[in-house]
Amino acid sequence: MKVILREDIDDVGNIGDVLEVARGFARNYLIPRNKAVEATSRSLKAVEHAKRVIGEKAKKEKAALEDYGKKVSSTSITIPVNVGKDDKLFGSVTTKDIADALAAQGIQVDKRKIHLQHPIKELGSTKVQIRLHSQVTTEVTVTVVKVQAPEVPVEGPSVAQG
């Protein structure tokens, strides 16, 4: 019996596949659990139409993400951090810090899409890869600088007048 799968099934097939399966398997398992429908000419046309619609939607989404990627790559961000002796960072710059700095500039990127080989632990500029889509990747320049401490006026020793 020919069926069209409505979801991915291990060791059977993927969504949208047209398969020849045993009649009992289709009647007793796949169709009652809504995992497949019988492959008629009408259902085959519906599946083909759905595949075309999904393909067109994916192309539009990819094009939009490529444009957004160009906007992101033209951006560079500066992250001020506290440093100690010999310009050693307290902690490190993480994907959350980078996502927050991008959000401050009006660019929304999920921190899980930012890929760091390792957390940034030194001052300077670094190229960071951002994967917006499985086929769309861009880079942003992250500059880590030390926080300028406010200058505190130095006062002499106080003399108690008595």
Residue 148 in this model has a pLDDT that exceeds 80:
no
Q: For residue 21, what pLDDT is reported?
A: 93
Residue 156 in this model has a pLDDT that exceeds 60:
no
The CATH number of 68-146 is 3.10.430.100
Span 39-55, average pLDDT:
86
Q: Rounded to the nearest 5 degrees, what angle is found at the Cα of 146, between the Cα atoms of 140 and 150?
A: 135
Least reliable range by pLDDT among 24-28, 83-87, 154-158: 154-158
Q: How far is Cα 53 from Cα 47, in angstroms, rounded to an integer?
A: 10
Q: For residue 138, what pLDDT is reported?
A: 92
pLDDT band at residue 125 under the 50/70/90 scheme? very high
Sheet holding 114-115, edge to edge: 76-81, 136-146, 124-133, 114-115
* Chain position carrying tokens 């160009």: 70
Span 17-34, average pLDDT:
92
Q: How far is Cα 24 from Cα 59, in angstroms, rounded to an integer?
A: 39
Residue 27's contacts (CB-CB under 8 Å, 6 or more residues apart) are 1
Q: How far is Cα 17 from Cα 3, in angstroms, rounded to an integer?
A: 8
Higher pLDDT, 128 or 16: 128
Q: For residue 96, what pLDDT is reported?
A: 93
The CATH number of 2-62 is 3.40.5.10
Closest among 87, 72, 96 to 145, alpha carbons compared: 87
For the chain, the domains span: 2-62, 68-146
Residue 33 in this model has a pLDDT that exceeds 90:
yes
Residue 161 in this model has a pLDDT that exceeds 80:
no
Q: For residue 141, what pLDDT is reported?
A: 92
